[in-house]
Amino acid sequence: MQKKQNYLTKQQLFQNLSKRTGLSKKNITLLFSELLDVIRENIKKSGHEKFVLPGFFKLTTKKIPAQKEKEGINPFTKQKMLFKAKPESNKVKIKLLKNLRDIAK
């Protein structure tokens, strides 16, 4: 027995947009691909920490510095232990803008 999906799949979304706009699914696929490339270029290559898709969302990134190995206390066993070092990473936050927040209510 399969679970019922309560969201559109990528293909369903592209087909729905194709019907509404009159554009081919190929053009819509290309549009989404290019949008993803623009976001990637804006954040990775140019080093911007924010990207805004007007009317939809604001995406922000923040670099989390590497952490050294450290000694601490396990909160469950109350014994001393060594916490592993963590490499540098990026944290990504997405904030819905007013139009989408109103729809989600």
Q: How far is CA 83 from the centre of its chain?
A: 28
pTM over 0.85: no
Note down the domain range covering 37.
Answer: 7-48
d(CA 18, CA 32): 13
Residues 40 and 56 in one domain: no
One domain for residues 66 and 96: yes
Note whether 54 and 39 are same-domain residues.
no
DSSP character string of 9-28? -HHHHHHHHHHHH---HHHH
My answer on whether 61 and 43 are in the same domain is no
Q: Is residue 1 part of a domain?
A: no
pLDDT per residue, tens digit, the chain (105 aa), is: 567 778 889 999 999 999 999 999 999 999 999 999 998 888 877 667 888 999 899 999 888 999 999 999 998 999 999 999 999 998 889 999 998 888 877
Same domain, 59 and 26: no
In one-letter notation, the amino acid at residue 74 is: N
